Amino acid sequence: LMAVLNPGVESVMIDGALYQDEVSARQIMAVPTVMLNGEPFGQGRMTIEEILAKVDTGASARDAEKLNAKDAYDVLVVGGGPAGSAAAIYAARKGIRTGVVAERFGGQVLDTLSIENLISVPHTEGPKLAMALEQHVKEYEVDIMNLQRAEALIPAGDDGLAQVKLANGATLRAKSVILATGARWREMNVPGEKDYKGKGVCFCPHCDGPLFKGKRVAVIGGGNSGVEAAIDLAGIVSHVTLLEFDSKLRADAVLQAKLGSLPNVTIVTSALTTEVTGDGEKVNGIVYQDRISGENRHVELEGIFVQIGLLPNTDWLKGTLKLSPRGEIEIDARGQTSLPGVFAAGDATTTPYKQIIIAMGDGAKASLSAFDHLIRSPAPVPAATIVD
Ligand code: FAD
């Protein structure tokens, strides 16, 4: 993108699956990795806005000033994934003042490769769908504030306006708020995991699997996503060790049968992962405790794919509204949270089955509920009434 927009910028792209020697020389263990003038600059998919925000160091303070000056919204959506996008479109179509504030517009869809279960769209790809979401939202008068992280929600006071405080210090105000902050990969929280993230510890088998061609990997987690990942990786890597904490796998029987038929997969149950080991540069193994014998075992390998579920992005809401024991925002059938005027949708909530189509439907529902709330809220008293 930078090279297309600025002829002074030169860009070289390397396909790691085709040029494995380049991958080893640069010690790349996750893609995409972006180097700037030979130094690591970023990892994961980045938009032009993200790149600019990183190179322009004064941007945050300038943004805060602009955001603080904004008028209150009728509906402020926090989150720009499928749920947030649907909520914004439904709100804007009612002709009310709508804003979307998102840390990364597109959400998890940006990290997804192939999508084949979005009804009426037989096949699409994550980044393509993310772009379509943004284009659809931009068809309407929606104020999109991308690359902004919400850090606190302050319920409405006497003025009827809730406040959303952002990481850059700005505060946005709104008559109703829709929370659609989605979820992120759950981590193991063991020593070594953080140190070797992107250096052998991965979360997306579709993205990073090909980098481990012919190598040994472990998959952590024996639920559907773990077993699917192990089946997928077994076709690329030399050997997969699947580690499951429980005494049995939790994946669907058909997936377990497929996994059991693969010659290069070892399944270990009752295994508590305790450490990721490495040589200082990259992963060289994993340690687990056999929960039956209590013995610690070290497996030598080059890659670890963590597939132990999703965590809702709701840490910033703790103590403000009702969360389930799993940290999901509790909502009723209309998307109403425990706070009046605050609604929620998608993966961040107690709604079962975390899927794109469900998140979109939830977003639309929460938005209609927010509109219903607004039309039933008492109209503000005029500042002054002149009587002849
Ligand atoms: P998200 O997509 O997680 O979006 C959350 C949004 O909130 C983002 O914009 C994020 O930046 C923003 N945000 C988070 N915290 C804050 C904050 N504090 N302040 C401001 N913004 C914030 N589903 C399918 O239906 N089909 C599939 O094939 C499929 N494949 C998948 C593959 C992968 C690898 C993954 C990870 C998920 C997949 N899913 C699939 C699930 C699907 O992506 C999710 O169910 C869906 O994206 C949820 O939408 P959402 O809007 O609730 O949350």
Q: What angle, rounded to 10 degrees, do the helices at 126-138 and 82-92 form? A: 20
Q: Where are the beta strands (DSSP E) in 44-85?
A: 73-78
Which amino acid would we find at residue 194?
K
What gap in Å lies between CA 308 and CA 292, rounded to an integer? Answer: 21
pLDDT reported for residue 328: 97
For ligand 1, is residue 117 a contact (CB within 6 Å)?
yes
- Any bridge partners for residue 285, and if so which? 277, 300
Q: Are strands 283-290 and 296-300 parallel, antiparallel or unpaired?
A: antiparallel
Atom of ligand 1 nearest to the CA of 151: 18
- Any bridge partners for residue 185, and if so which? 310
Atom of ligand 1 nearest to the CA of 104: 11
Phi–psi pair at 177, nearest 5 degrees? -125, 140
Residue whose Cα lies nearest atom 33 of ligand 1: it is 112
What gap in Å lies between CA 218 and CA 241, rounded to an integer? Answer: 5
pLDDT reported for residue 58: 82
pLDDT reported for residue 214: 96
For ligand 1, is residue 107 a contact (CB within 6 Å)?
yes
Contact in structure between 273 and 190 (CB atoms under 8 Å): yes
pLDDT reported for residue 386: 66
Atom of ligand 1 nearest to the CA of 345: 52
The pTM for the full model equals 0.82
Contact in structure between 196 and 301 (CB atoms under 8 Å): no
What gap in Å lies between CA 130 and CA 141, rounded to an integer? Answer: 18
| Residue position matching structure tokens 């809220």 | 377
167 CB-near residues (< 8 Å, 6+ apart): 148, 149, 150, 151
What gap in Å lies between CA 148 and CA 347, rounded to an integer? Answer: 19
pLDDT reported for residue 249: 97
Q: What is the mean pLDDT of each run of 10 residues along the chain (388 residues)?
A: 88 88 83 86 80 82 92 98 98 98 94 83 92 97 96 96 97 98 95 91 86 96 94 97 97 94 98 96 96 97 95 97 97 98 98 93 98 89 64
Atom of ligand 1 nearest to the CA of 348: 52
Contact in structure between 234 and 310 (CB atoms under 8 Å): no
pLDDT reported for residue 384: 65
Ligand 1: distance of its center to the CA of 83 in Å? 8
Contact in structure between 138 and 98 (CB atoms under 8 Å): no
Q: How many residues in total does the chain contain?
A: 388
For ligand 1, is residue 324 a contact (CB within 6 Å)?
no
What gap in Å lies between CA 240 and CA 159, rounded to an integer? Answer: 58
325 CB-near residues (< 8 Å, 6+ apart): none
For ligand 1, is residue 203 a contact (CB within 6 Å)?
no
pLDDT reported for residue 240: 98
Contact in structure between 369 and 203 (CB atoms under 8 Å): no
Residue whose Cα lies nearest atom 31 of ligand 1: it is 112
What gap in Å lies between CA 95 and CA 142, rounded to an integer? Answer: 10
For ligand 1, is residue 285 a contact (CB within 6 Å)?
no
Atom of ligand 1 nearest to the CA of 118: 25
Ligand 1: distance of its center to the CA of 41 in Å? 24
